[in-house]
Structure 1
Amino acid sequence: MDKQKLIKASKAGDDDAFYQLIVENKEKLYKIAYSYLRNEEDALEAIQEVTCRAYMRFGKLKEDQYFDTWLVRIMINYCIDELKKKSRFFNQEINLNNSKIFRNDEDVINYNQYGLQPVLDEMEPKIRSIIELKYFHDFTITEIARTIERPEGTVKTWLNKGLKVLRSYLEKEGD
């Protein structure tokens, strides 16, 4: 069954169709959750929580063709909330030094491998998110704009700002 039929069936109450939609997005959701939470258990818990939230709010999905970006937005919001909770509870800076992001099934990318961890840790969260979505999760500018609910021009501006910071950092480190 194609995605549009699955969405319509899900809206009509077909739980199997909703499950299929989640299965199709599971890998992408895991990668995003892991890139934010830096922990396999937390990422898997995030998928469960986001699945539940999406199921409960499925009626609020306005345009069926944006199901994937709607689901990713729920994941990003959940991850940001979890990071805020952790930093509040532990009252310390969250250690992101051992972060890894999955680019595909076989390849694990470690920010430190490229010497980017220090600069990414210092970036504003909104800019870091755009850099991660664009270059580590292969989102297009349009997909990022829909996901973070900002105009494409804003996404391009923030992306440019982030790239300038990265460029400056790499030039300084090259000396």
Structure 2
Amino acid sequence: MKASVNNLNQTQLAGNVIDRCKKGDVRAFRELYDAYSAAMYNICLRMTGNVSDAEDTLQEAFIQVHRNIGKLERDTSISAWIKRIVVNHCLNTLRKKKVYFEEVEEVEVAEETAIDENSFTMTVAAVKTAIHGLPHGYRTVLNLYLFEEYSHREIAEMMGITESTAKTQYMRAKEKVRQIVKQQNLIH
């Protein structure tokens, strides 16, 4: 019961802030920015791979949020709406940098094989380092699928690639992360 009351209060609060933003209230937009910027910055950083691009992308995305808040419909989730704008700006940033998304022929993607996790240790830091070391295309698909929870079909549509390419790049990215972590363990 308490959780649903909190959710209702948060929804009412968000609605109030959005209504104030639509009326041009600068303080309300600052509240909106403060509420969502940290999470959206993390998305930008994961997707772009560097602080400067993440900061620029976040700023551009929130400028678009500000410009378009009046078009936001009442029943739309504000967090999903902002996230979609942020992800699209991240993809645009990557396109400007000519990130290559490898197209593949229609191929069957094999099911994941079992890994002997006892043979090497995966720490959070090692996985983060490995993800950061991925080629942009792999990292983008991995982030969108694993962290942002988009489907392969949604990723394909957003990136202008086939669904099988999205699936293949995700599988290859995961394998590359495993290889990098395993190699790090052999060095240390």
The residue type equivalent to 2:89 in the other structure is Y
1:55–1:127 Cα change, 3 Å: same
| TM-score under structure 2 length normalisation | 0.55
Are 2:41 and 2:58, in contact at CA under 8 Å, matched by a contact in 1?
Answer: yes
Confirm or deny that 1:129 pairs with 2:144.
Answer: yes
Q: Within the alignment, does 1:49 sit opposite 2:64 as a pair?
A: no
- CA deviations on 1:3-51 (whole Å, 9 max, x unpaired) are 1110111112212111211110011011000001111122111121111
Q: 1:28 aligns with which of 34, 39, 42?
A: 39
8 Å CA contact retained: 1:32, 1:76: yes
CA 1:26 to 1:11, structure 2 compared with 1: closer, same or farther past 3 Å? same
| Structure 2 counterpart of 1:6, one-letter code | V
Tell me the C-alpha RMSD between the 2 structures: 4.1
Using a 3 Å threshold, how does the CA distance of structure 1 residues 44 and 87 change in structure 2: closer, same or farther? same
Question: RCO greater where, 1 or 2, for CA within 8 Å and sep 6 or more?
Answer: 2
From the CA coordinates, give the structure whose radius of gyration is larger.
2
Q: Which runs of 5+ in 1 are unaligned?
A: 94-107, 135-143, 151-157
Which SS does the other structure have where 1:87 is aligned? coil
**Does the 8 Å CA contact 1:7/1:64 hold for their aligned counterparts?**
no
Q: Match for residue 25 of structure 2?
A: 14
1:111 maps onto 2:127 in alignment: yes
1:1-175 correspondence runs (5 A): 2-87=13-98, 109=125, 111=127, 123=138, 125-126=140-141, 128-134=143-149, 144=150, 162=170, 166=174
2: CA distance, partners of 1:59 / 1:41? 29
Q: Report the Cα distance in structure 2 between the residues aligned to 1:110 and 1:169, rounded to whole angstroms.
A: 9
Kindly tell me: are residues 37 and 87 of structure 1, through their superposed partners in 2, closer, same or farther at Cα, counting changes over 3 Å? same
The aligned counterpart of 1:137 is none
Unaligned runs of 5+ in 2: 1-11, 102-123, 157-165, 183-188
8 Å CA contact 2:47, 2:143 repeated in 1: no
Report the secondary structure of 1:50's partner residue.
helix
Q: Is the Cα–Cα contact under 8 Å of residues 4 and 65 in structure 1 kept in the other structure?
A: no
Asked whether the equivalents of residues 17 and 29 of structure 2 are also in contact (C-alpha less than 8 Å), the reply is: yes
Q: Which runs of 4+ in 1 moved over 6 A?
A: 117-120
